[in-house]
Amino acid sequence: MTAAESATETETETDPPTAELDAPYRGLSPTAAADFNRDGFAHLSGVLSPETIAHFEPVVTAEVIRLNTQHQPLSERDTYGKAFLQVSNIWRQNETVKQLVFSRRLAGIAAALLGVHAVRIYHDQALYKEPGGGITPWHADQYYWPLSSDRCATIWLPLQETPVDMGPLAFARGSHNLSYGRDLPISDESERRLKQAVAEQRFEDVVEPYALGDASFHRGWTFHHAGPNRGSVPRRVMTVIYMDADIRLAEPTNENQVNDRAWMPGTVIGQVPDSALNPVLFA
């Protein structure tokens, strides 16, 4: 073997396993978009390899530790505070995390499921449920989003195997078609009222473990929740919110939506949020 061949082999062996981030995902069925439209969510297998997850998890975790502002003991927090540690737009803080967040593979899945030609990012969010962390109350994300349509979806990407005891995300199948409860922020009240609505409407509460490399996507109005983390390590999850690239900023309907306009700086009502924080990730 020549010196050049040896160097090439060494470079190949030490390259981070990130090539699949931009490679198409082959796991969608021909009916995936229709199923997503019917159910309001999709739980997919093998979205990323264990090797790729292992490459990014320590970096995301280190950034969550560095950027986290929640330092109260669990016992002194309210229900929302007990649900998870929350750090947003980590892609702006770390180039390695940006590689994951800007993955064309992940954005391409979102576009395919939503049935749109292109998606842009709203923002990312790490959600770490500590050992002993409490429930994530029933809620619908789009309560917070001042957007002109429901063509938006969130990927929930666990950074470890996630058995039921760790509190995986769970969904009420078909609940995105129900207009009731869309005025509720995540809270004890949303837990009580939406749990009752799910039972009364006989929506299936789909609670499933996640293998390493699994990910789910859910629509903005899909009711979802998570159980407590009864494990001994944090439940580490990275999320990205994707929106139809042609979506527009809508008139806010609550104070939380007023605050969420900060994720789309410089965008005026009726305008596509084509800001520096909302680039197109797949087209």
User: Per residue in 225-240, pLDDT tens?
Assistant: 999 999 999 999 999 9
Residue 16, pLDDT score:
61
Whether 116 and 244 have beta carbons less than 8 Å apart is answered as yes
Mean pLDDT of the chain: 93
Nearest 5 degrees, angle CA 241-CA 170-CA 123?
A: 10
Residue 105's CB: how many other CB atoms inside 10 A? 16
In angstroms and rounded to an integer, the radius of gyration of the C-alpha atoms of the chain is 19
Average pLDDT over residues 188-209: 98
- Of 14-28, 123-137, 175-189, the range with the lowest mean pLDDT is 14-28
- Reported pTM: 0.92
Confidence check: pLDDT of 113 > 60: yes
User: Per residue in 28-71, pLDDT tens?
Assistant: 999 999 999 999 999 999 999 999 999 999 999 999 999 999 88
Average pLDDT over residues 261-265: 97
Confidence check: pLDDT of 278 > 70: yes
> 246: which 2 tokens?
């042609």
Residue 242, pLDDT score:
98
Average pLDDT over residues 272-281: 98
Q: Distance between CA 155 and CA 280 in Å, rounded?
A: 16
DSSP state of 147: B
Give the residue with greater pLDDT, 8 vs 164.
Answer: 164
Q: Distance between CA 19 and CA 15 in Å, rounded?
A: 9
Q: Does domain 28-277 have CATH number 1.20.1050.140?
A: no
Residue 1, pLDDT score:
40
Average pLDDT over residues 22-30: 96
Confidence check: pLDDT of 82 > 90: no
Burial of 146: CB neighbours in 10 Å, binned 0-12, 13-18, 19+: buried
